[in-house]
Amino acid sequence: MITLHELTIKKIHSLLLQKEISAFDLTKEFFDYIETKDKEINAYRLLLKDEALRQANEIDKKIAASENISFLAGVPLAIKDNILIRNYLTTAGSKMLAHYRAAYDAMIIQSLKKAGAIFLGKTNLDEFAMGSSSENSAFEKPKNPLDLSRVPGGTSGGSAAAVASHQAVAALGSDTGGSVRQPASFCGLVGLKPTYGAVSRFGLIAMSSSLDQIGPIAKNVEDAAYILEIIAGKDSRDETSENFQFQARSIYERKDLRGIKIGLVKEIETSSFEKDLALSYQKSLTCLQQLGATIEEISIPHISLSLPCYYVLMPAEVSSNLARFDGLRYSPSEKAGSLKDVYFETRGEYFGPETKRRIILGTFVLSSGYYDAYYLKARLVQALIKKEFEEAFQKVDLLVWPTTPTPAFKFGEKTEDPLAMYLSDIFTVPANIAGVPAVSVPIYGEEPLPYGLQFIAYHFQEAKMLNAAYLFEQISNYGKFL
């Protein structure tokens, strides 16, 4: 009998090598569990049982033949349903793509397949990855396994819910404004958004192409690092990807944080934090000091403009990226008189309200007469924020601040007020606007629900960032401070 909740990537690897389990039995065990558990969680949109068991068999053959296997071989993962796996449905949480079958594998899927990872299924998300709670899904709404009356966060809510309920060892998500880190934080997990360009976006259904990044959600920093090692790197099919090599073992390089300067951004006012967040944050800073880090206050003067800037740039790109869903390709097509009517009817019928809101907003900020006032201005503000981050990283090695202002909220709490929903991204969006990497690790106050602590680093300094996050995780007993 395998205890699913104790499994990590490292553990699975050693169990497989010692022949204590087979990849096939492990995979089967996961599906048996998912069959009952997911009725209450709704993490998965689609299960890939036959394919997964076939993949697992291949790994077992390799082990039996004493072939070398990678760290991820036989590791059961969940994949957000906006990442293409060839031949399988990929809905992006939208009725528009309810019947769309992917014609090719995303770059990360190719890399993970090569490494021998096993895909259990595709996970639920907000439609086209827009939202902060997964409630914008046109299909099942995943629940937070820590409290079923609460959202798992969004938009990679299904991915986080799958891992937190032990229905997968780790998962892949996408993060445009926080969609990996925020659900990880709401579900007590680690969520990593790599530097923009560290991971190829080929085969990720585009939301806001200049901000989108794929990243792992895992039970600990080590597992997130193992996944990053496999998925990072240059891909000629994504011209924004960079030749970035990441070694998971780099997270063990330093044994403490002596000589490391950590910046606290003074514009992020701790006086506004909820009591329990303030408590867990304070304990986190004490741990960092115990590790030998020096903590200093620094300024990123325009950081508070990140959110308004994001909600101009992102919808502009959304309106352009989603133009391809026109009723002629990919999607079902409404019968109508003229071509224009087909567009109107199809888009009217198959896009949900939040998607429509953003397309309208994006079209507005790009339209003649408003382009200069909104879109162009937002790009200038983004350049300014990027420069200020750059200056900050000349003074300090890392920045830290919380991942979200509140723990997981209740279903329906923010659905009537889009602005309240947008404001929940206030601490995650700056890293996307600046293009820098960020990782969220769980921290707890006195209440049972977790918060997240973010470590933010300069471009492509994932090694330093994850090394610090790993040390923090150890000294803080996974954020429980016991």
For binding to ligand GLN (CB under 6 A), which residues are involved?
Answer: 129-132, 155, 174-179, 207, 314, 425
Continuous H helices in 3-150? 9-17, 23-41, 49-64, 107-115
- Cβ-based nearer residue to ligand GLN, 96 or 207: 207
- Cβ-based nearer residue to ligand GLN, 91 or 132: 132
- Cβ-based nearer residue to ligand GLN, 144 or 176: 176
169 contacts: CB under 8 Å, gap ≥ 6: 7, 8, 9, 12, 75, 76, 77, 163, 218, 219, 223
What are the angstrom distances between the C-alpha of 251 and each of 337, 363, 473?
60, 43, 12
Q: What is the CA radius of gyration of the chain?
A: 21
Query: Rounded to the nearest whole angstrom, what is the least distance from the CB of residue 431 to ligand GLN in the complex?
Result: 11
Query: Rounded to the nearest whole angstrom, what is the least distance from the CB of residue 182 to ligand GLN in the complex?
Result: 7
Query: Rounded to the nearest whole angstrom, what is the least distance from the CB of residue 155 to ligand GLN in the complex?
Result: 4
Query: Rounded to the nearest whole angstrom, what is the least distance from the CB of residue 136 to ligand GLN in the complex?
Result: 8
Quote the Cα angle for 245-251-252, to 5°: 130
- Cβ-based nearer residue to ligand GLN, 175 or 462: 175
Count other C-beta atoms under 10 Å from residue 335's C-beta: 9
Tokens of 34: 């998912």
Identify whether the C-beta of residue 303 lies closer than 8 Å to the C-beta of residue 385: yes
Tell me which residue of 124, 116, 224, 213 sits closest to 170, measured CA to CA.
224
CA distance 289 to 230: 32
Query: Rounded to the nearest whole angstrom, what is the least distance from the CB of residue 308 to ligand GLN in the complex?
Result: 13
Count other C-beta atoms under 10 Å from residue 348's C-beta: 11
**Dihedral pair phi/psi, residue 479, rounded to 5°:** 80, 5
Query: Rounded to the nearest whole angstrom, what is the least distance from the CB of residue 179 to ligand GLN in the complex?
Result: 3
- Cβ-based nearer residue to ligand GLN, 129 or 468: 129
CA distance 128 to 355: 8
- Cβ-based nearer residue to ligand GLN, 277 or 361: 361
Tell me which residue of 211, 215, 196 sits closest to 311, measured CA to CA.
211
Query: Rounded to the nearest whole angstrom, what is the least distance from the CB of residue 365 to ligand GLN in the complex?
Result: 15
Query: Rounded to the nearest whole angstrom, what is the least distance from the CB of residue 342 to ligand GLN in the complex?
Result: 28
Query: Rounded to the nearest whole angstrom, what is the least distance from the CB of residue 18 to ligand GLN in the complex?
Result: 39
Stretch (H or E) spanning 318: helix 306-321
Identify whether the C-beta of residue 409 lies closer than 8 Å to the C-beta of residue 133: yes
In this structure, which amino acid lies at residue 448? P
What are the angstrom distances between the C-alpha of 57 and each of 11, 206, 448?
19, 33, 40
